[in-house]
Amino acid sequence: MTARFKTTSRGGLEGEGLSLMCAHGKGGFIAAEQKREGDGASPIGVWTMKRVFWRPDRLSRPITGLPTVPLREHDGWCDEASDPLYNRPVRLPYPASCERLWRDDAIYDIIVELDHNSAPVVPAAGSAIFFHLARPDYADTQGCIAIAKTDMLDVLALSGPGSILEIAA
């Protein structure tokens, strides 16, 4: 179940016979080596889908060959470049700046962790670059790629170890 999906220049995502609408970073696309924390840009590159986080109070475990992790109310993701856990999951409350994964809106009801800036982690080179759910109006993200919930469930059903999301301008 290794799948490959790629963003298109016209605001879409294609692969494995699917052609979907997607949102991307408000800062447009940027070469991965130029990506900086807070720039709002989606990093160009081929990113492995590592694992899927999901809200068990809002939906059932997604059908996928990828590892799944149920989210908990205290889950966060560190975005403080000087912190030793930068671009890593953390438990809230956490003393450094971090993003809350358990949100009131639905965009993080399903989160696919991508391997952008993961090994080794480079401080300030971008954190929390996820593949997650889009807002109803497909509003720009902070650098992530986002699609509709039904589309995400279709993508995940086709995905397993080694599946990738290619971010291309």
Tens digit of each residue's pLDDT (9 = 90 or more) over 66-79: 999 999 999 999 99
Question: CB–CB of 49/68 below 8 Å?
Answer: no
Percent of the chain with pLDDT over 90: 98
pLDDT value at residue 70? 98
pLDDT value at residue 9? 82
Please give the mean pLDDT across all residues of the chain: 97
> How far is 90 from 81, CA to CA, in rounded Å?
14
Question: CB–CB of 111/121 below 8 Å?
Answer: no
DSSP 23: B
Name the maximum alpha-carbon separation found in the chain.
44
| Tokens 């809350």 sit on residue | 100
Domain boundaries along the sequence of the chain: 4-167
pLDDT band at 80 (very low <50, low <70, confident <90, very high): very high
Of 52, 106, 102, 108, the closest CA to residue 75 belongs to 102
Question: CB–CB of 113/85 below 8 Å?
Answer: no
Tell me the fold of 4-167.
Answer: L,D-transpeptidase catalytic domain-like (2.40.440)
pLDDT value at residue 28? 96
pLDDT digits (tens, 9 = 90+) for 23-58: 999 999 999 999 999 999 999 999 999 999 999 999
pLDDT band at 10 (very low <50, low <70, confident <90, very high): confident
> How far is 165 from 131, CA to CA, in rounded Å?
8
Asked if residue 86 has pLDDT above 90, the reply is yes
Asked if residue 1 has pLDDT above 90, the reply is no
pTM score, two decimals? 0.97
The token pair that represents 154 in the structure block: 């279709």
